[in-house]
């Protein structure tokens, strides 16, 4: 257990890029890899670091997030001392309840931050998926004398198709960040921010109060970018798998990547397991003429048809004669008989009636909104 650090997860990211998946839920609550929600990864990372005080800044569409988190007992955050704090917006004399940006959001939870007794804060977003502990990053932060340590990984230099709040760092040999670009059209470096920062709590308080007093709104644009040469910021390189859900096709691709053994072994390392809300579903059953290849299948599924290159979430039913290829099928979908689906993402609880055919393309998977009947 670590008594010197607490976690703050921001879940109010703009979610337009995930289209219908975030129609009624925040990015944090978007289902991922068969049985998880995005937030399970960063939350488990914090817990696996031994952190027992975690605040979650909720902003909009947070009902399904609260339903998922409950008292935090699945993450062992139902504690007498500290534990899980869900921090939804509220209206006071100083607060409108509607945040103009991250600065507003952090400012409105300043009470929680002040009350937290830990020295360091780990600030994470919720649309980036990776599985690790923060021990090494904390060590590096303390040793380097950085005011802020930012986690990054190495990505391609070319302009990404689906850039979304992407930060690129220019680094010196010792890891000191000399320049930061936000959504560059022509990135100068391959080092991309992983939505994770460590600093002393007092530094964070000061930066937020200062920015708020100047009417600034965005922590990345108004604090990180502006102060990169003013205060020492260091990068901490992470070489594990990082999935940034910056678009629907990246959502699709990162789900599909879980089919690769090296990605699975990296994300689901028994040394730091990913915790999630359990549903007590029965094991998946293969009946009749089921044919399944290269797929991830969650508990509660009943498969009677053919499934290839798919991720099936809990409680999916694939009827006789149906053929699913390259699909991500969220919880409790019912695919009746003789359907054909290719490159489709089915949100929770969809029903595909017998004989229906749907197809997208690898660069443009189609998305079926939650609860649709086709």
**What residue ranges bind other proteins (CB under 8 A)?**
33-36, 73, 258-259, 264, 267-268, 273-276, 278, 280-288, 290-300, 311-314
Q: Tell me how far, at minimum, the Cβ of 224 lies from other proteins, in Å.
A: 33
| Cβ pair 87, 58 in contact under 8 A | yes
| Cβ pair 351, 373 in contact under 8 A | yes
Q: Tell me how far, at minimum, the Cβ of 297 lies from other proteins, in Å.
A: 6
Cα distance between residue 69 and residue 27, in whole Å: 14
Q: Tell me how far, at minimum, the Cβ of 127 lies from other proteins, in Å.
A: 20
Smaller CB separation from other proteins, 18 or 47: 47
Smaller CB separation from other proteins, 48 or 342: 48
Cα distance between residue 219 and residue 103, in whole Å: 6
CA dihedral over 30, 129, 200, 169, signed as positive or negative: negative
Smaller CB separation from other proteins, 6 or 41: 41
Q: Tell me how far, at minimum, the Cβ of 298 lies from other proteins, in Å.
A: 4
Smaller CB separation from other proteins, 2 or 272: 272
Smaller CB separation from other proteins, 171 or 259: 259
**How many C-beta neighbours within 10 Å does residue 206 have?**
13
Cα 279 off chain centre by? 20
Cα distance between residue 238 and residue 311, in whole Å: 26
- DSSP per-residue string spanning 24-53: SS-GGG-EETTTEEHHHHHHHHHHHTT--E
Q: Tell me how far, at minimum, the Cβ of 292 lies from other proteins, in Å.
A: 5
């Amino acid at each position: 257990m670590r008594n010197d650090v607490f976690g703050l997860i921001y879940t109010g990211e703009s979610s337009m890029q995930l289209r219908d998946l975030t129609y009624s839920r925040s990015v944090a609550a978007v289902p991922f890899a068969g049985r998880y929600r995005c937030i399970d990864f960063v939350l488990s990372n914090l817990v696996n670091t031994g952190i027992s005080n975690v605040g979650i800044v909720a902003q909009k569409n947070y009902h399904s997030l609260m339903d998922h988190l409950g008292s935090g007992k699945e993450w062992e955050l139902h504690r007498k001392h500290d534990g899980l704090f869900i921090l939804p917006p509220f209206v006071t004399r100083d607060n409108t309840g509607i945040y103009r940006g991250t600065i507003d959001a952090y400012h409105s939870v300043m009470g929680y931050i002040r009350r937290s007794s830990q020295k360091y804060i780990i600030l994470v977003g919720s649309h980036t998926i990776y599985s690790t502990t923060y021990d090494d990053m904390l060590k590096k932060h303390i040793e380097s004398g950085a005011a802020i340590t930012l986690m990054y990984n190495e990505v391609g230099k070319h302009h990404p198709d689906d850039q979304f709040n992407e930060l690129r760092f220019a680094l010196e040999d010792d890891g000191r960040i000399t320049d930061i670009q936000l959504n560059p059209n022509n990135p100068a470096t391959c080092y991309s921010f992983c939505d994770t920062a460590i600093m002393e709590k007092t530094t964070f308080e000061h930066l937020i109060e200062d920015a708020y007093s100047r009417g600034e709104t965005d922590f990345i644009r108004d604090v990180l970018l502006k102060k990169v040469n003013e205060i020492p910021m260091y990068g901490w390189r992470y070489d594990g798998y990082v999935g940034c859900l910056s678009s629907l096709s990246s959502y699709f691709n990162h789900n599909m990547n879980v089919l690769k053994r090296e990605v699975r072994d990296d994300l689901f390392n028994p040394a730091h397991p990913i915790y999630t809300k359990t549903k007590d579903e029965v094991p998946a059953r293969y009946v009749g003429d089921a044919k399944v290849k290269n797929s991830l299948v969650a508990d509660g599924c009943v498969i009677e048809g053919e499934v290839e290159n798919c991720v099936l979430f809990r409680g999916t039913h694939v009827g006789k004669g149906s053929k699913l290829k390259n699909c991500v099928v969220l919880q409790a979908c019912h695919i009746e008989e003789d359907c054909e689906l290719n490159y489709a993402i089915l949100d929770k609880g969809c029903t595909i009636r017998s004989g229906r055919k749907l197809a997208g393309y690898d660069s443009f998977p189609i998305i079926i909104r939650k609860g649709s009947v086709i």
